[in-house]
Amino acid sequence: MKRLFAVTLGILTAIGGFVDIGDLVTNALVGARFGMRLAWVVVVGVIGICLYAEMSGRVVAVSGRPVFDLIRERLGRRTGLFALIASFLVTLLTLIAEIGGVALAFELASGVNYLLWMPLAAFAVWLVIWRVKFSHLEQVFGLLGLLLIVFAVALWKLGPDWGDLVQQATSPGPIGHETWATYAYYGIALFGAAMTPYEVFFFSSGGVEEKWDRRDLVTERSNVFIGFPLGGLLSLAIAGCAAVLYLPIGVQVETLGQVTLPAAVAFGKLGLAIVLLGVFAATFGAALETSLSCGYTIAQYFGWQWGKFVRPRQASRFHVVMIICLILSILVLMTAVDPVKVTEYSVVFAAMALPLTYLPILIIANDPDYMGEQKNGRVLNFFALVYLGLLLLASIAAIPLMIVTRAGR
């Protein structure tokens, strides 16, 4: 019974934890511009994050070593440092976007400018990290994030022509004034939003925080294989709402307000309240995950003591890294840069940085020295290698497409 509860809780947490500011913004934006014509990318991305997270979760459960510890070990000091810098910068950029997202949600609810909310949001993130137990923060914000299911219900309430949505989903390609270049660019953005690297750093380090061993493989797998795909369905619902409400009238999504409006149109003030609470939980939860991931990656690369399973003073450098990252986020947001724009760039850079951390995990998941019986099977390796190809392709194409499309204009 207790075990079943743990599994259910893990799955629910994974669903709520999957969606962050990147998924919210990118899915709504793409839904408004292309309808469901890029829905297949969400499916491809979800399968990818399942493969990637399952491998790193399994490696943690068997070897007890989290992702960045192993990345340095396999890539060596120099290449490892390159992977660290790239992954860290992307994670920091995501953290900035998430804190901006929390502040924007408060701005929408209160009408008070987000720049005033932002230092408060960053401070609250730090306080929770400093004081709250790991399992609590993961569960509370994961469960609250489930409120975003309101998007799925809103889509149904908006009463779309389902046949039309299916038709869009099955006929990929640009429409109207869009070009193949913008279509591909947003494809990469969606892919990066679904497969953001920090999700895996957090997931694998969380495995150590919660002291996983071989017996936890069932929990780990059910979280990944049920939780993430259901989270992916939430993403599709967000895109669907935008496709129904915005595509026909030529609205392009550029603000968080536009992302939340469909719930209000469908359910009125209650819908808006639920969606704002859901957005707050999803972005605040992701802000916790990304700041922890900033600390995890650096501390694990250098072999420092890290983690919330020890008291803060025992992992002092780890905590200092997170404090510095939060201060940096405040400083960047103070320049009044648009957090939604930051989000749009962060998902593309996420797609670019992915192969650097994916490859070492694939290598280690195949190493009998570590994994023994639990190493990758043939079928899994086939898909893992296909995804390695896809990741490389997206990574190489990202910059040229960004230049050609002037970042998707």
Could you say which residues in the range 107-136 bind other proteins, by CB under 8 A?
107-111, 130-134, 136
Quote the tokens at residue 26: 């990118």
Contact between 214 and other proteins (CB under 8 A)? no
Q: Rule CB under 8 A: say whether 243 interacts with other proteins.
A: no
CB of 106 to other proteins, least distance (A): 10
- Asked whether position 377 contacts other proteins by CB under 8 A, the answer is no
Nearer to other proteins, 166 or 393 (CB): 393
**Which residues, 260 to 289, sit near other proteins by CB under 8 A?**
260-261, 264-265, 267-269, 271-272, 276
In whole angstroms, the minimum distance from the beta carbon of 324 to other proteins comes to 10
Query: Which residue type occupies 189?
Result: A
Q: How does DSSP assign 131-177, residue by residue?
A: HS-HHHHHHHHHHHHGGGGHHHHHHHHT---HHHHHHHHTS-S--TT
- The yes or no reply on residue 177 touching other proteins (CB under 8 A) is yes
Residue in 131, 102, 64 with CA at minimum distance from that of residue 330:
102
- Alpha-carbon distances of 263 from 241, 268, 274, 275, 291, rounded to whole Å: 8, 7, 8, 7, 29
Decide if residue 159 touches other proteins (CB under 8 A): no
In angstroms, the CA 196 to CA 87 distance is: 10
Q: Does 384 bind other proteins (CB under 8 A)?
A: yes
Asked if 363 is part of the footprint of other proteins (rule: CB under 8 A), the reply reads yes
- At residue 216, what is the residue type? D
Q: Cα separation of 353 and 256, whole Å?
A: 26
Assess 65 for contact with other proteins (CB under 8 A).
yes
Residues between 66 and 85 that touch other proteins (CB under 8 A): 69, 72-77, 79-80
Among 6, 9, 119, 366, binds other proteins (CB under 8 A): 366
CA distance 259 to 32: 10
Q: Of 8 and 179, which CB lies nearer to other proteins in the complex structure?
A: 179
Q: Is 210 in the site for other proteins (CB under 8 A)?
A: no
Q: Does 379 bind other proteins (CB under 8 A)?
A: no
Tokens of 268: 């009125």
182 makes contact with other proteins (CB under 8 A): no
8 belongs to the binding site for other proteins (CB under 8 A): no
Q: How far is it, in rounded angstroms, from Cα 339 to Cα 25?
A: 10
We find the least distance from the C-beta atom of residue 27 to other proteins, in angstroms, to be 17
Residue with Cβ nearer other proteins (38 or 103)? 103
Q: Does 302 bind other proteins (CB under 8 A)?
A: yes
Contact 22, 233 (CB under 8 A): no
Q: How far apart are CA 389 and CA 297, in angstroms?
A: 25
